[in-house]
Chain A
Amino acid sequence: MSVYKHNYRAYTGKLTPGWTRILVLARYGYAEAWSSKITIGIFILSLLPCIGFLFGIYLANNPMARLLLGNHNQRVLAINAGFFLNLMDAQFGPALVLAAWIAPRLITFDLADDALPILLSHPISRFGYVFGKWVALFASLSLVTWIPALVLFAYQGYSSPQPWAAANVPIAFGLVAGAVIWIAFLSLLGLALSSWVKWRVVATGAIFAAILVPAGVGAIVTAVLRTKWGWLLNVPFMMSVLSQRLLGIPDLAGSQPSLPTAGMTAMLTLGCLLCVAMLFARIRAREVVRG
Chain B
Amino acid sequence: MNDRIIFEDVSKFYGEVLGVNRISLTIPSGITALVGPNGSGKTTLMNLMTGLVQPSSGHISVLGLSPGSATEFFRDVGYCTQFDSFPRGLTGWQFIFDSLMLHGISKTEATRLTRESLERVQLGDAADRRIAGYSKGMRQKTRLAQAIAHHPRVLVLDEPLNGLDPLARAESIALFEELGRQGMHLLISSHILDEVDRIADRVVLITGGYLIAEGNIHQVRQEVREKPMQVLIRCDHPELLASKMFAINHCVEARLHADGKGLLLRTGDIDQFYSSLNGIAAEGLVKIEAVAPADDDANAIYQYLIGSDGSAL
Interface residues of A (CB under 8 A from B): 1-11, 13-18, 20-21, 24-25, 28, 32, 35, 109-110, 113-115, 117-125, 284-291
Contacts and interface: CB of A to CB of B under 8 A. Distances in A.
Given A6-B182, A121-B52, A21 B47 contact: no
Contacts of A7: 182-183
Contact of B30 (A4, A14, A121, A284): A4
Contact of B85 (A10, A21, A114, A125): A114
Contact of B81 (A110, A287, A291): A287
A12 B44 CA distance: 30
Interface of B: 14-15, 17-19, 29-31, 39, 41, 43-44, 47, 50, 52-53, 70-79, 81, 83, 85-89, 98-99, 101-106, 109, 113, 143, 146, 150-153, 177, 179-184, 201, 216
Given A122-B74, A287-B81, A288-B44, A5 B183 contact: yes
A9 B151 contact: yes
Contacts of A18: 71, 104
Nearest to A11: B151
Given A2-B31, A25-B102, A118-B85, 13 more contacts: A3-B181, A8-B153, A15-B75, A20-B104, A24-B98, A28-B87, A113-B88, A115-B87, A118-B143, A120-B52, A121-B81, A287-B43, A287-B47
Given A2-B180, A289-B17, A290-B39, A118 B88 contact: no
Given A2-B180, A291-B17, A32 B146 contact: no
Nearest to A7: B182
A125 B70 CA distance: 6
Main secondary structure, interface of A, reads loop
Contacts of A114: 83, 85
Contact of A14 (B39, B78, B87, B106): B106
24 contacts: A1-B201, A1-B216, A5-B183, A6-B29, A7-B182, A9-B151, A10-B153, A11-B113, A11-B152, A14-B106, A15-B103, A17-B104, A24-B98, A113-B86, A115-B85, A118-B146, A119-B102, A121-B81, A122-B99, A123-B102, A286-B52, A289-B17, A290-B44, A291-B15
A1 B31 CA distance: 10
A92 to B, nearest CB: 30
Contact of B74 (A117, A123, A284): A123
Given A1-B201, A3-B181, A16-B104, A287 B151 contact: no
A4 B183 contact: yes
A109 to B, nearest CB: 5
A2 B181 contact: yes
Contact of A121 (B15, B41, B79, B106): B79
Contacts of A115: 85-88
Given A9-B151, A117-B52, A16 B86 contact: no
A10 B152 contact: yes
Given A5-B182, A109-B88, A286 B70 contact: no
Contact of A10 (B31, B52, B102, B151): B151
Contacts of A119: 87, 102
B103 A123 contact: yes
Contact of B53 (A1, A6, A110, A286): A286
A286 B102 contact: no
